[in-house]
Amino acid sequence: MKLLIRNGHLMDPANGIDAIQDVSIVAGKILGVGPPPPGFHPNREIDARGLVVCPGLVDLSARLREPGFEYRATLESEMAAAAAGGVTSLACSPDTDPPLDEPGLVEMLKHRARNLHLAHVYPIGALTQGLEGEKLTEMAELRDAGCVAFGQADRPLASARVMMQAMQYASTFSFRVWLRPQDASLADGGVAHDGEVATRLGLPAIPVCAETLALSNIILMARETGATVHLCRISSAEGVSMVQAAKRQGLAITCDVAANHVHLSEMDVGFFDSNCHLIPPLRGLKDRDALRTGLENGTIDAICSDHAPVDDDAKLLPFGEAEAGATGLELLLPLALKWSAEMRLPPSRAIARITSEPARVLGVNAGHLTPGGAADLCIFDPEHYWKVEAATLKSQGKNTPFLGIELQGKVKYTLVNGNIIYQG
Amino acid sequence: MSRNPQLNEHGELQHLLTTEGLPLAILRRILDTAESFVGVTERDVKKVPLLRGKSIFNLFFEPSTRTRTTFEIAAKRLSADVINLNIAASSQSKGETLLDTVDNLSSMHADMFVVRHSQSGAAHLIAHHVRPDIRVINAGDGRHAHPTQGLLDMFTIRRYKRDFHNLRVAIVGDILHSRVARSQIHALTTLGVPEVRVIAPKTLLPARVERLGVQVHHDMAEGLRDADVLLMLRLQSERMLSAHIPSTQEYFKYYGLTQEKLALAKHDAIVLHPGPMNRGVEIDSAVADGGQSVILPQVTFGIAVRMAVMSILASN
Amino acid sequence: MSPLPDAEVLLARLIDRIRPDLTQATALVGIHTGGAWLAERLHRQLGPVLPLGTLDVSFYRDDFDQTGLRPEVRRSNIPFEVEARHIILIDDVLYTGRTIRAAINELFDYGRPASVRLATLVDRGGRELPIAADYVGASLALPPDTMLVLVQDSEGKLGLDLHPRNLPKA
């Protein structure tokens, strides 16, 4: 199978390409960029005039809800959502039921995902057994089964001692540890940022120091143990400057932010909009602005969808009782582009934050269009405006703060290993 | 959800969910109408036929005999049929969701729901969900709002002080967890009170509370100085078990209202409390039962204010 | 159509008609707003010893479902024992009779009067209930799409105004 993508605006930040170029694909791999070689006779051509051709998106946080939460979403529905969002590689978090703490579960998930022939799925293994925060999992076994890193999703570790030991053990084998910085006791019972809006609405609050206190523990222990740590979903200005300082010290730390948090703040909670009940909470405008700047200067490496489909019953509850989370796979691209546009940056900067950079965090060979690499691509129309509507979202979760909002940038084709898995 | 969810497209009150963002004209109208109902409640026959044939459901997801009773009396004095439901004990424990319960009751031809719930925002959720002909009154949602309590406090203040425009009002106690305080603050600022103070230790104040338009005091003597109105808050017993305060004794010493502290306020200052009081914790009996206390009139006015809210809602 | 009669003349006529019926047990009750003005004037001229009350029948109206609560409800004030009184109820314009029905109901929630009589400045016909006035200043035939209202100027002088029904009065 030979495929030629003609006349598209190629954006491949990993290779420094941002120009009109053709892409030739053979047997699921990139053959070359630029005019097709003489004698190349494609079976199919895609005319990408007016479209952007970029590496398939790499998402660092997608909950596929299998096993255990099939009433919320299934692997089929969420992988279809990934395809519609241009996502070709995704890391799925271990907070399934049971959690991803045994090789058998990981193998089953990888097997099920592989049979769908959609995005590549990279499981994050549970750092502790049952995600209970106390006993370490058999990380090496889990790595062999396909886990690329280890984390706790949104569950806490029992103590600083367990965190220390987890980092020591992981770094022994050069495993990456993914942690979302949040002090459990300071966050306990909280559902919103400890600011003006929670005060007005009387919502139990999570202070910024729940994040910074945990960050300071993690950073100190990362320095102590030499562990490679990825910080998931940073939310505060203070947190961003702590990460920046840690990176300046040369620590092996990376960091991501959820696409919602790049654009929204506590103000968007309005009158108890449970679609804005997110983990971590949407913080102040100053925090949001610091996240946007952190992405620009590289303190924050990647934007993730933080995809968390929630069924209607779990959202149609008073704010504090409603389950946190939002569907996100189909919004990752337009929300990243919205960031670069609003920051007056070239769109390729946004593309880097959702392709090559997250691939580097994940440690997988993806997020670029280097000849010889897998032909995972996303082709999108940067001028196409579309309204986010429950009826048209592929994800089984219809919950997002952007419901009813018009966004710019729509995926037209998604390719995995040279196969067109989505056409919009 | 940017439009104020308690007003309809004509700007009329459709639900009473919070005193926040309530237009001054509506606030005044509630207080004026309540004034007429005070006349009714002082008669031998304390009942008017205004809401004859209407069904008002008291939906109490959180038990409160006291508040439920005041709404029940108000509804009965308007000749409405009142159905009391203590839902904490029934369907919720059987797995029925909040909105299932509301749907079920709506199909019993309810005209109005009076809702009490432990979660902030529960009344908004219900108001957003019900048929457009059903009215919702928030009778207390979590820490968020208790608008009829806030309004009856305003009614009481107006009765004794007449004009809001030259008052100094001090709210004392657990602001952090208090839906009453939030409703009082919004109503006071809308009615034009130039100086609203909150007095509490830092553990009982929410973040950036000054953004609600209040001055923050930690020292009670300083906060009470020259105040015209003292709004005391109830200290929930669970705060004594957590790390919010060390003991009720120490709390009383620094934040309890005694005759000595009351003397720092204006000589004609009035003292309010939403009840039930913890005597010897937030207020001394000598003050609670003293000449400056208007705590019992508050209860009487509470019926008239709730009658006013119900009749205005039913008529829009 | 002939011009509206002078309200002050009608009031004088009304006073003359009521005066012979006054007893020790008579009380005057005016219905807000116009009736209350009239009751005030009657009270002044017939004898300040007579008990005087006012009713705002908003809470007793039967059109609540159609028109809702009036924006300005005044407090009813009956500062005397209604029990065994001979009440003279006073309204400015008698039309459908619904306001009077509401007023009688409200009055009975204050006690059981010995009798209730009705005085009105203008009877414009158009009754929808079996109600009649005992004392009438004038009977007028007016088009049904009009609203007749009593007005009071800054010196307290009373007058009658006719408005189209759909317009709020100035």
Task: Give the ipTM of the model, two decimals please.
Answer: 0.93
Instruction: Please indicate, yes or no, if residue A368 is contained in any of the structural domains.
Output: no
Gap from A194 CA to chain B (nearest CA, Å): 6
Are A202 and B182 spatial neighbours (Cβ–Cβ below 8 Å)?
A: yes
The shortest C-alpha distance from B300 to chain C (Å) reads: 16
Q: Say yes or no: C58 contacts chain B, CB-CB below 8 A.
A: yes
Closest by Cα among A255, A332, A346, A259 to A294: A255
pLDDT given at position B166? 96
Q: Would you say residue A145 lies in a domain?
A: yes
Same domain flag for A283 and A410: no
CA distances from C109 to B74, C27, C82, C129 (A): 17, 16, 9, 21
Q: Which residues of B228-266 are buried (b: 16+ CB within 10 A; e: fewer)?
A: bbbbbbbbeeebeeeebbeebeebbeebbbeeebbeebb
Q: Collect all residues with Cβ–Cβ distance below 8 Å to B24 and sequence separation of at least 6.
A: B190, B191, B192
Q: Are the beta carbons of B294 and B156 closer than 8 angstroms?
A: yes
Q: Do chains A and B touch (3 or more CB pairs under 8 A)?
A: yes
A215 and A99 assigned to the same domain: yes
Q: Which of B20, B121, B145 is facing A318, going by the closest CB pair? A: B121
In terms of C-beta density within 10 A (0-12 exposed, 13-18 middle, 19 or more buried), how is residue C157 classed? exposed
- Domain limits at A45? 2-53+374-423
Q: Which of A194, A195, A272 sits opposite B124 (nearest CB)?
A: A272
Residues of C within 8 A of B38 (CB-CB) are: 75
Rounded Cα distance between C44 and C50, Å, is 9
Contacts of B209 in chain A (CB under 8 A): 199
* Model confidence pLDDT, tens digit, residues C55-108: 999 999 888 888 888 878 888 999 999 999 999 999 999 999 999 999 999 999
Please give the Cα distance from A146 to A112 (Å, whole number). Answer: 13
Same domain, A398 and A316: no
Q: With a CB-CB cutoff of 8 Å, which residues 265-284 of chain A face chain B?
A: 270-273
pLDDT tens digits for range A357-366: 999 999 999 9
Q: Are residues A48 and A66 in the same domain?
A: no
Is residue A156 domain-resident?
Answer: yes
Q: Which of B59, B114, B65 is nearest to B92 (CA)?
A: B59
The confidence score (pLDDT) of residue A57 equals: 98
Count structural domains, chain C.
1
CA-derived radius of gyration, chain B:
19
Reported confidence tier of residue C121, pLDDT bands at 50, 70, 90: very high
- H helices of A259-382, in order, are 259-263, 285-297, 312-315, 332-342, 347-354, 356-362
Pick the residue of B208, B211, B214, B244 with the most A CBs within 10 A to test the interface with A by mutation: B208
Residue A176, class by beta-carbon neighbours within 10 Å (0-12 exposed, 13-18 middle, 19+ buried)?
A: buried
Return the residue of C nearest to B54 by Cα.
C65
Residue whose C-alpha is closest to residue B254's, from B226, B224, B227: B224
Strand pairing category for C26-31 and C52-55: parallel
What mean pLDDT comes out for the span A140-152? 97
Active site residues of A: 306
Q: Is residue C23 part of a domain?
A: yes
Tokens of A248: 């300046």
- At residue C170, the pLDDT reads 40
pLDDT in tens, A288-343: 999 999 999 999 999 999 999 999 889 999 999 999 999 999 999 999 999 999 99
B chain contacts of residue A318, beta-carbon cutoff 8 Å: 98, 117, 119-122, 125, 141-142
Mean predicted confidence (pLDDT) in A9-31: 97
Q: Is the pLDDT of residue A101 over 50?
A: yes
Is beta strand A419-423 parallel, antiparallel or unpaired with respect to A406-416? antiparallel
Nearest to B189 by CA among B9, B22, B1, B11: B22
Q: Is residue A319 part of a domain?
A: yes
Q: How far is B57 from chain A (nearest CA, A)?
A: 19
Distance of CA B75 to the CA centre of its chain: 17
pLDDT along chain B (316 residues), means of 10: 79 96 96 94 90 94 91 97 81 72 91 96 96 96 97 98 97 97 98 98 96 97 98 86 89 97 98 95 97 96 97 92
Do residue A156 and residue A176 come from a single domain? yes
Min Cα–Cα distance to chain B from C158, Å: 26
Are A9 and A79 members of one domain? no
A201:B97 CB<8 A = no
pLDDT higher than 70, residue C1: no
Query: Which one of B2, B118, B124, B244 would you mutate to disrupt binding with A, by most A Cβ within 10 Å of its Cβ?
Result: B124
Structurally, chain A folds into a number of domains equal to 2
Average pLDDT over residues A400-413: 97
**Domain assignment present for A226:** yes
The CA-based angle C139-C141-C146, given to 5 degrees, is 115
pLDDT of residue C64: 84
C27 is a domain residue: yes
The CA-CA-CA angle for residues A283, A288, A290, to 5°, reads 125
Look-up of token digits 């995972």 = A376
Question: Do C109 and B78 touch, CB atoms closer than 8 A?
Answer: no
Maximum Cα–Cα distance for chain C, whole Å?
45
Question: Which residues of B touch chain A, with CB atoms under 8 Å apart?
Answer: 1-2, 5, 20, 97-99, 117, 119-122, 124-125, 129, 141-145, 179, 182, 206-209, 211-212
Q: Do A264 and A340 fall within a single domain? A: yes
Assess whether A133 and A9 both reside in one domain.
no
Nearest to A181 by CA among A123, A140, A220: A220
pLDDT the model gives residue C2:
64
Chain C contacts of B312, Cβ < 8 Å?
Answer: 69
- Min Cα separation B105/chain C (Å): 22
Q: Same domain for A47 and A70?
A: no
Report chain C's C-alpha Rg in angstroms.
Answer: 15
pLDDT digits (tens, 9 = 90+) for C4-36: 999 999 999 999 999 999 999 999 999 999 999
Comparing CA positions, the residue from A246, A263, A258, A260 lying closest to residue A299 is: A246
- For residue B193, the SS3 value is coil
Does the residue C2 lie in any domain? no
pLDDT digits (tens, 9 = 90+) for A126-137: 999 999 999 999
- Specify the CATH number for the domain of residue A330: 3.20.20.140
Residue C167 has pLDDT above 60, yes or no: no
Q: In whole angstroms, how far apart are CA C167 and each of A423, B65, C127, C140, C164?
A: 61, 47, 22, 21, 6
Average pLDDT over residues C142-151: 91
Q: Using the beta-carbon criterion (under 8 Å), do C59 and B43 form an inter-chain contact?
A: no
The residue among A271, A275, A312, A403 with the most chain B CBs within 10 A of its CB, best to mutate, is A271
Give the pLDDT of residue C73: 87
Domain around C150:
7-164
CATH number for the domain that contains residue C79:
3.40.50.2020
**Residue C166 pLDDT greater than 80, yes or no:** no
Q: Searching chain A, which residue's CA lies closest to the CA of residue B144?
A: A202
Flag whether residue A199 sits within 8 Å of chain B, measured between CB atoms: yes
Q: Is residue A328 part of a domain?
A: yes
Tell me the β-bridge partners of A419. A416
Same domain, A121 and A85: yes
CA distance B20 to chain A (A): 9
Q: Using a CB-CB distance cutoff of 8 angstroms, which residues of chain B are in contact with residue A313?
A: 97
Percent of chain A with pLDDT over 90: 97
List subunits contacting chain B, requiring 3 or more Cβ pairs under 8 Å: A, C
Average pLDDT score over chain A: 96
User: What pLDDT is recorded for position A128?
Assistant: 98
Encoded amino acid at A45, one letter: E
Are there at least 3 beta-carbon pairs closer than 8 Å between A and C?
A: no
A207 vs A188: CA distance, rounded Å: 10
| More reliable by pLDDT, C57 or C166 | C57
Q: Please check whether residue A367 lies inside any domain of the structure.
A: no
Q: Which residue of A has its CA nearest to B122?
A: A318
B207/A321 touch (CB, cutoff 8 Å), yes or no: no
DSSP helix/strand/coil, B156: helix
What residue type is A401 in one-letter code? P
Average pLDDT, chain C: 91
- For chains B and C, count residue pairs whose Cβ atoms are closer than 8 Å: 51
**Pair (A200, A284) in one structural domain:** yes
- Per-residue confidence (pLDDT) for residue B65, from 0 to 100: 87
A34 has a pLDDT exceeding 80:
yes
The 10s digit of each residue's pLDDT in A210-263 is: 999 999 999 999 999 999 999 999 999 999 999 999 999 999 999 999 999 999
A326, A73 contact by CB (below 8 A): no
- A192/B contact by beta carbon, under 8 A: no
| Residue C169: pLDDT over 50 | no
Same domain, A224 and A339: yes
- The three-state secondary structure class of A64 is coil
pLDDT of residue A92: 95
Residue C115 placed within a domain: yes
